Structure 1
Amino acid sequence: MCDTCEFTSGPPPNALGKYLLVPLTAGGFLYAGMQLIFTAQRLTEERGQMMTFVQGFALFGVGLFVWYSGMGAANPKQRRQRILKYRRAWEDEQAGVAAPDTTSLLGENLEAVVVAIILALIIRHFVMEAFVIPTGSMAPTLLGDHFDLECERCKHPFPIAKREYELTQGETETHATATCPVCDYTFERDLTRADMRSGHKILVNKFIYRFRPPRRYEVVVFKFPNTPWRNYIKRLVGLPGETITVRNGDVFANGERARKPDHVIDSIWIPVHDAAWRRTGGEPRWDVVAEDLRPAWQFGKDGAEDLDGAWMRCDPAQAKLPAGQETAWVGYQHRKMHAAYAYNREDSARGPITGDLRVRARVTPEAGAVVRLGILETTRLYDEENNSQRDEERLVAARFEAGQGEATYAIEANGEVVAQVKGPALTPGLPHELTLAYADDRARLQLDGETLLAWDDPFGPVEQTYDVQVRLGAAKAPAVFEQLRIDRDVYYVPSRSNAQYDPSIQAIEIPQRSYFVMGDNSPNSEDGRSWGFVREGHMIGRAFLVFWPPTPEHLRLIR
């Protein structure tokens, strides 16, 4: 303490206090406060929710106070400012000038904490708010409380839903049946709290809809129409005044297909096959589509067994190709392309067949090779008058050329070019990432992560898809295919409860100033199909960021 001006300053904390004790103590209070705030968002009873919010903000305030107090004492700049403040007050006192009372360190920190909390409340109310995802209705885009598993056969990690009653009454473990989304292997596991993970924590932009209306396929947070004090999160699929239907898993608005923007589709692809996760048994996933093509294909490098497409080589010159055909094809075999949701555990039925797929491969071509990635979709049509049926097949393929100089990249439908573009040819002997994405009847050809060509298919099937096969092949010169991967788009299935507003069953007319929403995990989502529409005034904001857990596979923008 100064004998002249009576300035008092405690000793600055040592390195242990500054870098360990203060951050740990403050972090503990902040974390506990945030957990209580997120817990309050899950509660349905209004009084209990308010009390939990108050407790959470109180702990959060204590954490801020500890941080300001501890780190402020260690901050030379703040210490100099306090010394200068006391000096000016002492000089004013000596000169007989009235001066405001100097504030103690406790008062200064308390003032800073109060201001910080007020600013946080203002930001939370008007600008941005954090929410916790309690359920899996938006999986796999957003995960609720879940368990992390690893497939016993291919070792692929994936989440499954935690049921509300599991591990809540003091139990130490629960039993689950799960099916791997990549290799389709079903197994049983005993799960403990160590396997359990809480739902995603997200940030919501609360002011954006003050400047523009919500847009189709945005992920929105809104007040639940039946109990407005509860918040829900879904994907917006229908706009005011529209008539929407769902056919073959896709949304139609006023009779026209409502295609998802490319950036939305690219954020929600669901894995179906990945050769990086290799099985230890079972049928091979890739095989020739005709026996005459078998001499052209080698499955597995250096004689090693390859069941999943980790390495395949095609030499089309060795195939016995029929007249008019230049490509030696292989197809994805022994597994149907079901719109299954592994997240839902054994509750999830296999689901319908889907043709909205993305196929990717790392391809090393030789000079002159023409490489194709294709999706063959079969639709079964019924003739009620003649009591007969017939199948229609349609192959949409992306064509890539290897060589020197310029090449023609093309999208083909049943062998006919429907879109093409010129560009540098694939470099012979070097690997390239080739992609064909086909969803919402929109095909995209991508090379090394860049979209070179897109085509909106006006003739895509609207009836139920009967079968789908992913194909790939080469013509004119050899090519090596590695790291085969297949993903699928979200598929909107009919509601389990024969809901009143289900667009899969009937056309739904959306009132003015209202919106229609559905969950990405449509087999397990209570959404607009059950309770109708979200009024404009109930919209809270647009979800835009998953910030917790802060790991690479979870931390991301929400599309």
Structure 2
Amino acid sequence: MARSKNAKRIERETAEAAANLTDAPDDRSPNQQRAAKFRVAAQRETVEAFVVAFILALLFRAFLAEAFVIPTGSMAPTLMGAHKDLVCDRCSQTFPVGASRERSGPRTDLVVVGGICPNCRHINSLDLKDNSDHTTFNGDRILVSKFKYMIAEPERWDVIVFKYPGNPKQNYIKRLVGLPGETLTLSHGDVFSHPTGTDDKSAILRKPPSTMQAMSHLVYDTDHQAEVLIQAGYPSRWQPWATGATAPPTDSWKVERSADGLVATVQADQSPKWLRYFHHWPTDEQWAAADQGESLADADPYQSRAITDFYAYDSYIQVPAGYVYDDRPSVSSGGGFERSMNGGYSEGSFSRKYQSGGDPSQFRGVAIWGGQDDGRQELGRDGLHWVGDLIYQADVETSADAKALTLELVEAGIKYQCRIDLADGKATLSIIDAQERTFDDGNDHPVASTGVRAGSRHTVQISNCDDKITLWVDGDVVSFDSPTTYDARDFRSRAQDHPQWSPEDPLDAAPAGIAITGGQATVRRMEVRRDQYYIATNDSSFGGIFDYDMAEMFRLAGGSVTLGEVQQVFTMPDRWADFIGWETRREVSFPLEADQFFPMGDNSPESLDARCWAGTKNQFQLPRGVNEDAWRWSNDSYVPRNLLVGKALVVFWPHSWSSPVPFTPNFKRMKLIR
């Protein structure tokens, strides 16, 4: 009772004091009183604005868009995880290599010390001590639309963010390939589908031209020449060729190389004069000889090898951290500036034995070449699978009396040609094989009108990807009068679908070519790229990801076969016909029901995606304290609709550069995601 009286007394005295304050005379001038009211109002409006902005930001993040940082290289080269950027010390080609394994724990266990140029294939060492631009950069920062899939269905080839079925608290980003209600099949790098539950023949899934370009990988660009190879007389990869020739004909194309690139010229007669691409590069010994000023002019200009699914991003050379650091980098406890500069890790202290920027031979015996390099076979030097889907581009200038321009791509021994009549610009497609081949509608020769004429200069590009021929002229896709699609399974069986070669015609050993009939021509800036190769695996062991059934290969070979030996076969065209490994390439299928989506990473050899999820729960067991219902999809090979987060839209902030000043914006990599 006493406490109640005291409370009432305090309340009464407080009210009286407030009244006295209110009634007290204000000695300030009217201007001062108005200023005080404005200050109070302004402060209140500022606080309210911050509160409203905070609420709007929460609503924007929850329902419209959210920023994410890419942690790994599973979507490279479309999206970068933690990585290093290099400029080749021989041909000046820029390229990234993955480095996310450096940041897989509280302390750095493995350090990336080099990478392989995708253009000239020279091994580049990193100067971790003295070159600030050789540090490990953070992954791309991207913006994701959460609203997109509230009003529209996800589309094939979208880059999507979703909750990982094995741990719904973790976001993953991949490319959407399989849609609900279809059975997806991976075979020889391509993707096929048919309606689930039917016996319908599967159809190949074709990427739109812009997506295909965004996902393609560099094979060779003539604008980036290694001067040391030119001085040593090492043969150009582009060589004049004629049927049955064992050496470049002297009455054909003349190829000139310099630091500025390659220029090829020809004076043609009424028969086509061919210039072809031979896929080769120097050995380590040849690089060393060239560096010493020795001649390499005796190298075979027609030597070649198969084009493979080599990923420059996966060519990282990594070594145990103790070979580089005395005190290994660890999760930083420093301030925000230090953490932002070093990706959240301390700098560490270098070992005096480490030769920063020195030859990679200092790590011989301990270096791991890429993520697939089991047993120190240096597998990261090249890919593990032959790729026949190619893209070829050239800058072509012709004289007024030139008659025809022909572009050619070869896959599994079949020639896919586009011949442009330079009198009227008519482009005609053909499929050339030992027997007659036609496009999907039975048409032998789809035709189109182009603006390419004799006496003009154009950039022409042709692709043979996903069983479709596409032609571009000056960056624009050319429309033909009938389908340019075909079904390669009608031309070659699965066992026959491999690179072909003969002494009279190199075929897949020289898979891109250009020919001029009549008149003069000059060709500059030629570029060969390859298409995405999806590896057919359903291996949930998270081991090596490759097409081959190694047990079956062992059985057919009558003994052990290594992946390194498979790579050796790619370098010997005369052994392609007899290689048993072609028969052991897997074909895997994934049936999808309603509301089930199948995503895969663009970096197929290093992407743990829907191909590999099945069995996750059984293999790693359910963690303690985790709601088992959250793991209901952990044994499945799909993403359910309710785990979709949104569509990736744009890379708005790739890593900044450390020079010429810290935080220099990397404008070149800001882009829409395709």
- Corresponding residue for 1:58? none
Gaps of 5+ in 1: 10-82, 87-101, 379-392
**CA 1:309–1:150 in 2, change beyond 3 Å: closer, same or farther?**
closer
* Bigger relative contact order (CA 8 A; separation at least 6): 2
Q: How does 1:162-311 map to 2 (within 5 A)?
A: 162-165=99-102, 174-191=111-128, 194-195=133-134, 196-254=136-194, 255-280=202-227, 281=229, 282-290=234-242, 291=245, 294-301=249-256, 305=257, 310-311=262-263
- Corresponding residue for 1:394? 414
- Corresponding residue for 1:478? 520
- Corresponding residue for 2:90? 153
1:57-84 Cα deviation digits (max 9, x unpaired): xxxxxxxxxxxxxxxxxxxxxxxxxx9x
| 8 Å CA contact 1:547, 1:556 repeated in 2 | yes
Q: How does 1:155-554 map to 2 (within 5 A)?
A: 155-165=92-102, 174-191=111-128, 194-195=133-134, 196-254=136-194, 255-280=202-227, 281=229, 282-290=234-242, 291=245, 294-301=249-256, 305=257, 310-317=262-269, 326-335=271-280, 336-345=306-315, 346-347=369-370, 348=380, 349-367=382-400, 368-378=402-412, 393-403=413-423, 406-414=424-432, 418-428=445-455, 430-453=456-479, 455-460=483-488, 463=494, 464-466=497-499, 468=508, 469-495=511-537, 497=539, 505-531=587-613, 532-549=637-654, 551-554=666-669
Q: What amino acid is the match of 2:589?
A: A
Q: What amino acid is the match of 2:463?
A: A
**CA 1:105–1:363 in 2, change beyond 3 Å: closer, same or farther?**
same
TM-score (norm: length of structure 2): 0.61
Q: How does 1:15-164 map to 2 (within 5 A)?
A: 86=38, 103-164=40-101
**CA 1:172–1:110 in 2, change beyond 3 Å: closer, same or farther?**
farther
**Bigger mean CA deviation after superposition, 103-112 or 393-402:** 103-112
**Bigger mean CA deviation after superposition, 453-462 or 364-373:** 453-462
How far 1:513 sits from its partner (Å)?
Answer: 1.3
**CA 1:227–1:7 in 2, change beyond 3 Å: closer, same or farther?**
farther
Tell me the SS of whatever aligns to 1:376: strand
- Number of aligned residues: 443
**Bigger mean CA deviation after superposition, 137-146 or 433-442:** 433-442
Tell me the SS of whatever aligns to 1:113: helix
Cα distance in structure 2, aligned partners of 1:140 and 1:156? 15
| 8 Å CA contact 1:411, 1:445 repeated in 2 | no
- Corresponding residue for 1:49? none
**Bigger mean CA deviation after superposition, 121-130 or 212-221:** 212-221
- Corresponding residue for 1:557? 672
**CA 1:150–1:497 in 2, change beyond 3 Å: closer, same or farther?**
farther
Tell me the SS of whatever aligns to 2:44: helix
**CA 1:169–1:228 in 2, change beyond 3 Å: closer, same or farther?**
closer
Cα distance in structure 2, aligned partners of 1:222 and 1:170? 29
1:304-358 Cα deviation digits (max 9, x unpaired): x4699720012222xxx9xxxx322121114331111010122145221212211
TM-score (norm: length of structure 1): 0.73
Cα distance in structure 2, aligned partners of 1:307 and 1:376? 29
1:202-257 Cα deviation digits (max 9, x unpaired): 11111111122211111110001011011000011111121111112111011110
1:117-162 Cα deviation digits (max 9, x unpaired): 1101101000111111000000000000110111121111111001
How far 1:295 sits from its partner (Å)?
Answer: 3.0
Q: What amino acid is the match of 1:494?
A: A
Tell me the SS of whatever aligns to 2:185: strand
- Corresponding residue for 2:32? 6
Gaps of 5+ in 2: 1-26, 195-201, 281-305, 316-368, 371-379, 438-443, 501-507, 548-585, 614-636, 655-664
Tell me the SS of whatever aligns to 1:117: helix
Tell me the SS of whatever aligns to 1:315: strand
Tell me the SS of whatever aligns to 2:428: strand
Cα distance in structure 1, aligned partners of 2:119 and 2:671? 23
**CA 1:295–1:306 in 2, change beyond 3 Å: closer, same or farther?**
farther
How far 1:377 sits from its partner (Å)?
Answer: 1.6
Cα distance in structure 2, aligned partners of 1:144 and 1:537? 26
| 8 Å CA contact 1:175, 1:190 repeated in 2 | no
**CA 1:170–1:239 in 2, change beyond 3 Å: closer, same or farther?**
closer
**Bigger mean CA deviation after superposition, 433-442 or 416-425:** 416-425
How far 1:297 sits from its partner (Å)?
Answer: 2.9
Cα distance in structure 2, aligned partners of 1:360 and 1:139? 23
| 8 Å CA contact 1:361, 1:434 repeated in 2 | yes
Cα distance in structure 2, aligned partners of 1:471 and 1:426? 20
**CA 1:411–1:307 in 2, change beyond 3 Å: closer, same or farther?**
farther
**CA 1:439–1:365 in 2, change beyond 3 Å: closer, same or farther?**
same
Greater strand proportion: 1
| 8 Å CA contact 1:244, 1:507 repeated in 2 | yes
Q: What amino acid is the match of 1:328?
A: K
1:382-401 Cα deviation digits (max 9, x unpaired): xxxxxxxxxxx211122223
Cα distance in structure 1, aligned partners of 2:33 and 2:516? 83
How far 1:465 sits from its partner (Å)?
Answer: 3.1
Q: What amino acid is the match of 2:54?
A: I
**Bigger mean CA deviation after superposition, 128-137 or 179-188:** 179-188
**Bigger mean CA deviation after superposition, 458-467 or 149-158:** 458-467
- Corresponding residue for 2:340? none
- Corresponding residue for 2:617? none
Q: What amino acid is the match of 1:295?
A: T
Cα distance in structure 1, aligned partners of 2:216 and 2:397? 25
